[in-house]
Amino acid sequence: MDIATIIGLVGGMGLVGWAIASGGEGGAFVDAPSMAIVGGGGLASVLISFPLANVLSTLGVVKKAFLTKARDPADLIRELVGYAEVARRDGILSLENMTKDIDDNFIVSGIQMAVDGTDPELIEQIMTSELEAIADRHETGKAILDAAGKYLPAFGMIGTLIGLILMLGSMEDPSKIGSGMATALLTTLYGAMAANMIVLPMADKLGRRSQEELLLKTIVIRGVMAIQAGDNPRVVEQRLTTFIPHNKRKKEDEASERRAA
């Protein structure tokens, strides 16, 4: 579980709740029609913009922001170097017995093609095509959230305009002007909160998660190609380590030296 997402949501909502509670009656900030305009209107616009299947699949994508913890690239590199050592020592066919214990289907697919003697260029093409398909799915999910973040404040403003029109239509009772104005402004508040505290940050988090996953998949492709070519495990490690940021490479090099010792 991504604790940062939970902390951010709870912290943001907590601050808003504290501001509301310290300002007076909390019930004044609850209005069902305003919520319906913002939530329903935003969803309606998203459905107009994207196919229904894509919108429904976004629910699964959103869960990644809460439940998926990105794997450390250094751990993945160590795993791939281990496979390279086995292939170098016992032959690449020996990896076939190890695939049943590998959790990552992307790694399994690549190693299986290498074991089967598939042409290296074809292996790279197939794995790269799958990588591009994953990137497209992630981009679609993020685009839907970005669109929702754009539409929600707009419907908040629409709700406010509706409330102001209704208020101005009953000006004969001045005592209701204040409460009517407050209710009208609630939709703007709801739209701004939903977009800037939930939807848009979630889209940014998913974008980051996508970058992390695509990096891991790229490391796998390079690792499988090196294993298939029969490269020395040390060379495989050096090549894959280039994907790790410089500030983390020193720690990984020290760990590698300790393992060698």
249 — pLDDT class (breaks 50, 70, 90): low
The pLDDT tens digits of the residues spanning 105-158 come to 999 999 999 999 999 999 999 999 999 998 998 899 899 999 999 999 999 999
Angle of the 200-229 helix axis to the 120-168 helix axis, nearest 10:
180
Distances (CA, A) of 88 to 82, 226, 239: 10, 11, 16
In angstroms, rounded to a whole number, what is the distance separating the alpha carbons of residues 196 and 152?
Answer: 10
Given a cut of 60, is residue 79 above it in pLDDT?
A: yes
- Is 239:220 a contact under the CB 8 Å cutoff? no
The pLDDT tens digits of the residues spanning 12-67 come to 888 888 888 886 666 778 888 889 999 999 999 999 999 999 898 887 777 766 67
In angstroms, rounded to a whole number, what is the distance separating the alpha carbons of residues 126 and 131?
Answer: 9
pLDDT of residue 216: 94
Taking the model in full, what pTM does it have? Answer: 0.81
In angstroms, rounded to a whole number, what is the distance separating the alpha carbons of residues 23 and 5?
Answer: 27
Q: Which two tokens stand for residue 142?
A: 């993020």
| Mean pLDDT for the stretch of residues 211-225 | 93
In angstroms, rounded to a whole number, what is the distance separating the alpha carbons of residues 230 and 85?
Answer: 10
Distances (CA, A) of 231 to 108, 222, 228, 235, 236: 19, 11, 8, 7, 6
| Closest to 228 in 3D by CA, of 84, 99, 79 | 84
The pLDDT tens digits of the residues spanning 191-209 come to 999 999 999 999 998 898 8
In angstroms, rounded to a whole number, what is the distance separating the alpha carbons of residues 203 and 58?
Answer: 11
| Closest to 29 in 3D by CA, of 252, 247, 186 | 186
In angstroms, rounded to a whole number, what is the distance separating the alpha carbons of residues 214 and 204?
Answer: 15
pLDDT of residue 143: 93
pLDDT of residue 250: 58
pLDDT of residue 109: 93
Given a cut of 80, is residue 92 above it in pLDDT?
A: yes
Q: Which two tokens stand for residue 245?
A: 């940021």
